[in-house]
């Protein structure tokens, strides 16, 4: 099982204050259902044969050069606003780390790989449906230009699982994701909770050296903490702007579900919105709509406030507030740029985009203006307006409330090449509403038919290539 990978043991070198060693589950069977060669190629793993792939990602054989077994990472976090000091990797672990050709550090993390010291009575398993749903989320987000973890592997393990929120018994799987980091806001919260200032400093230096190398690696921890905090605010604000423009609702934006490097990850009850409905929630248990579509920026800022509080031994209150005050500007700039990117137009500025979003949030549901279709119908800006309004789908836009948006769009200019793409986009715009997700799962669950899933991923990737998503994120 020789590979050309360049392994790293950098997280292991932090020491066992940051993880517990985990014993992976032994599964009754291993059926390879998905392998992401696009994501694997970044780490020179795409040439593995299926047998070796299963050995590494289903049986957890140790990669050459990796000096440790699985590591269950330690963290705390706020869950729906309530602090929980009993968290940690309860059904996953850090399997290994690799450096790519540009010496960027990547994690391979598991989900559904068995019990750990943090399982709290859970079985440490993942349903196959949960794995399929995470795959679909990461694929569409990637094609919509959102920095996200990549679903690297899904292996069905043929155990019968019992869950309260889906028909049981249900099928089981183990998933492996590729992510830039699994260091969460909750990782810092745990160290602050335990008053481990030395380890906060150690982790801050670790993050800057390995994930934020462009920052000045000063000897002064106060300067380091300030730079690190601002960079995390920038990255998380950027991610939040992009998921808003993508119409994505994560569902559970607890502080343990934010990594400090600003990738969207760890998907449970996610949804893509049909209409720009600010109160739309993804999680049935989000009774107070804390993480609804319109409140996700608020949730991100709240989570970043907890990160700032965790750094308070090195940052004074004034500096924390000053840094947090950057969030709104950074979020609005990200939303503006990504909104225009989805429309294929030159940036019209945050003020104008905010006006358009405000109108959409008010009228989208009542006027039955599908959020994703809006971007498709007006792709290319001004030259698309008349085509859309004169088409069969244009009637819904011919109302007084939408007139101001039309006025904005008539003044826009297409980005280079976007008008030519309109011809190809006619049949290549993809969304993932809940009915389609359930249809894909039904075909797998009832008929063991994977072609619906495979075809959907192919179409999503074609759309991403047309949009130019590769220029924005690392596949």
In which region does residue 221 sit, left (phi positive, over 0), alpha (psi from -120 to 50) or beta (all else)? alpha
Around 137, how many Cα atoms within 13 Å sit in the side-chain half-sphere? 27
Report the distance separating Cα 247 and Cα 294, nearest Å. 10
Would strands 31-35 and 6-8 be described as parallel, antiparallel, or unpaired?
Answer: unpaired
Return d(Cα 320, Cα 438) in angstroms, integer: 43
Q: Which of 256, 266, 286, 377 is catalytic?
A: 256
What contacts 147, CB < 8 A, 6 or more positions away? 238, 239, 242, 262, 263, 264, 472, 473, 474
Q: What CA–CA distance (Å, rounded) separates 177 from 123?
A: 20
Query: Does an H or E element contain 324, and which?
Result: helix 317-324
Taking a C-beta distance cutoff of 8 angstroms, is the pair 40, 46 a contact? yes
387 is catalytic: no
Q: Give which of 96, 282, 311 is closest to 207, Cα–Cα.
A: 311
Distance between CA atoms of 408 and 473, rounded to whole angstroms? 28
Rounded to 5 degrees, what angle do the CA atoms 119, 57, 144 make?
90
Please give the full DSSP string across 224-239, using - where no structure is assigned: HHHHHHHHHHHHHHHH
CA distance 239 to 472: 11
- Cβ distance 141 to 467 under 8 Å? no
Take residue 380 and report the two structure tokens written for it. 């290319």
Q: How far is CA 376 from CA 193, 369, 418, in A?
A: 47, 12, 12
Give dist(CA 90, CA 25) in Å, integer.
Answer: 12
CA-wise closest residue to 107 among 19, 193, 190 = 19
Report the candidate in 445, 450, 448 with the shortest Cα–Cα distance to residue 169: 445
The catalytic residue positions are: 256
């Amino acid at each position: 099982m020789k590979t050309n990978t360049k392994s790293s043991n950098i997280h292991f070198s932090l020491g066992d204050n940051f993880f517990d060693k985990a014993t992976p589950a032994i599964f009754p069977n291993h059926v390879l259902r998905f392998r992401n060669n696009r994501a694997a190629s970044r780490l020179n793993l795409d040439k593995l044969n299926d047998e070796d792939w299963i050995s590494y990602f289903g049986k957890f054989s140790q990669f050459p050069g990796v000096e440790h077994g699985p590591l269950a990472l330690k963290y705390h976090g706020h869950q729906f606003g309530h602090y929980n000091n009993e968290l940690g990797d309860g059904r996953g672990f850090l399997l290994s780390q690799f450096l790519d050709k540009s010496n960027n550090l990547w994690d391979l993390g598991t989900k559904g790989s068995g019990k750990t010291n943090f399982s709290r009575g859970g079985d440490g398993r993942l349903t196959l449906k949960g794995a399929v749903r995470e795959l679909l989320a990461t694929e569409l987000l990637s094609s919509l230009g959102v920095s996200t973890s990549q679903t690297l592997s899904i292996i069905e393990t043929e155990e019968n699982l019992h869950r309260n929120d889906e028909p049981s018994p249900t099928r089981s799987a183990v998933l492996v994701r590729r992510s830039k980091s699994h260091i969460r806001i909750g990782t810092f919260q745990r160290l602050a909770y335990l008053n481990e200032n030395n380890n906060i400093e150690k982790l801050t230096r670790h993050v800057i050296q390995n994930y934020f190398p462009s920052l000045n690696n000063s000897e002064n921890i106060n300067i380091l903490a300030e730079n690190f905090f601002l960079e995390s605010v920038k990255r998380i604000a950027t991610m939040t702007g992009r998921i808003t423009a993508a119409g994505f609702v994560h569902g559970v934006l607890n502080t343990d579900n934010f990594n400090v490097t600003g990738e969207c990850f760890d998907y449970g009850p996610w949804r893509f919105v049909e209409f720009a409905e600010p109160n739309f929630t993804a999680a049935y248990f989000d009774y107070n709509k804390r993480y609804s579509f319109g409140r996700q920026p608020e949730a991100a800022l709240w989570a970043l406030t907890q990160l700032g509080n965790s750094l308070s031994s090195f940052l004074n209150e004034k500096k924390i507030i000053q840094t947090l005050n950057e969030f709104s500007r950074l979020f609005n700039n990200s939303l503006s740029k990504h909104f225009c990117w989805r429309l294929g137009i030159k940036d019209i500025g945050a003020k104008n985009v905010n006006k358009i979003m405000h109108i959409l949030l008010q009228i989208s549901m009542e006027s039955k203006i599908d959020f994703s279709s809006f971007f498709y119908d007006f792709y290319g800006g001004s030259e698309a307006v008349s085509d859309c309004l004169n088409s069969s789908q244009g009637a819904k836009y011919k109302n007084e409330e939408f007139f101001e948006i039309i006025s904005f769009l008539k003044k826009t200019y297409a980005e280079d090449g976007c008008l030519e793409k309109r011809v190809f986009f006619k049949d290549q715009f993809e969304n993932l509403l809940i009915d389609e997700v359930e249809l894909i799962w039904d075909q797998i669950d009832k008929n063991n038919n994977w072609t619906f899933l495979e075809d959907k991923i192919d179409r999503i990737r074609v759309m991403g290539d047309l949009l130019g998503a590769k220029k924005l994120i690392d596949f």
